[in-house]
Amino acid sequence: MLAARYDALLFDLDGVLYRGDEPVPGAPETIGALRRAGARIVFLTNNSSRTPQQVSAKLGAMGMPSPPEEVVTSATATADLLAARGGGTAFVMGGDGVVGALTDAGLRVLDGEPESVDLVVVGIDDDLTYARLRTACLLVHRGARFVATNADPTFPGPRSELWPGAGALVAAITTATGVEPEVVGKPHAPLFHAALHRAGGTNPLVIGDRLDTDIAGAAALGWDTLLVLSGVDTEEELADSPYRPTYVAADLRALLLDDVVRVTGP
Ligand SMILES: [Mg+2]
């Protein structure tokens, strides 16, 4: 089967395993079969607001029991990356998911209006105020390193509305300071590296539904990709896209098939 050509399977979540609160058809059976075949599985998500425990619970409720250790979020990847560099003090413009991940990794999160910090970390923040935005900008201006969990311009809200994502908050700080952040989430490399490190393989396949994040980011690392058409992007978007997946399929059930042909690559 296709999955057996790789030693790690790195799954995007929304649009691949579920849509909103409904599993994608065949997802529970496929994940179950992959586990019985001994596949190494890790889930990676740009969503910084949910903890790995919450993602694990959601997957379990949809018939895909998965331990929190298999979940890498942009918040936990950011925290691990910054801790590995020595940690320090951080001002956070982001929700509890970001604050919790940084604190768990040993960073000291300062609230209020600190004079200086080592890091300004930005994720999705549904409690954003002008005062916090001002503090973040002043700290970046004074030399704090500017790091973003992700730079998604939007994320799907209820009734298919697009709500402003972390990228919109990042842009406010960049506009005010002229400083570009280091971005951890897809399509940037750190989240992919964190996921592969967690999985433990050397030859991963990334399974995703978005050409401009999942596919573009993995392809930039030279990794093979499976675009599934069960989420955001369609065949029409694929035809117009500069990003080429290694394989294309209707959904993740293709992982269990033997005769999936490469559409790009060697
Ligand atoms: Mg997705």
Q: Which domain holds residue 114?
A: 85-183
**Does a structural domain hold residue 52?**
no
121 and 33 in a single domain? The answer is: no
**Does a structural domain hold residue 31?**
yes
148 and 99 in a single domain? The answer is: yes
- Report d(CA 102, CA 79) in Å as an integer: 5
Q: Distance from the CA of 238 to the center of ligand 1, in angstroms?
A: 15
**Does a structural domain hold residue 135?**
yes
- Report d(CA 191, CA 166) in Å as an integer: 15
Asked whether the predicted pLDDT for residue 266 surpasses 60, the reply is no
104 and 175 in a single domain? The answer is: yes
161 and 247 in a single domain? The answer is: no
Residues whose Cβ atom is located within 5 A of ion ligand 1? 12, 14-15, 209
Asked whether the predicted pLDDT for residue 12 surpasses 70, the reply is yes
Q: Distance from the CA of 113 to the center of ligand 1, in angstroms?
A: 36
190 and 226 in a single domain? The answer is: yes
* Average pLDDT score, the chain: 94
167 and 191 in a single domain? The answer is: no
170 and 198 in a single domain? The answer is: no
Q: What is the pLDDT of residues 165-221, one digit of tens each?
A: 999 999 999 999 999 999 999 999 999 999 999 999 999 999 999 999 999 999 999
Query: Which of 127, 152, 183 is the last residue in one of the domains?
Result: 183
Q: What is the pLDDT of residues 157-168, one digit of tens each?
A: 777 788 899 999
Helix (H) / strand (E) element for 92: namely strand 89-93
- Asked if 14 is an active-site residue, the reply is yes
**pLDDT band at 155; cut points 50, 70, 90:** confident
Rounded to an integer, the average pLDDT of 94-120 is 95
**pLDDT band at 147; cut points 50, 70, 90:** very high
Query: Which of 162, 183, 204 is the last residue in one of the domains?
Result: 183
**Does a structural domain hold residue 77?**
no
- Asked if 12 is an active-site residue, the reply is yes
Rounded to an integer, the average pLDDT of 40-61 is 94
194 and 251 in a single domain? The answer is: yes
- Report d(CA 84, CA 42) in Å as an integer: 21
For 125, the 3-state DSSP assignment is coil
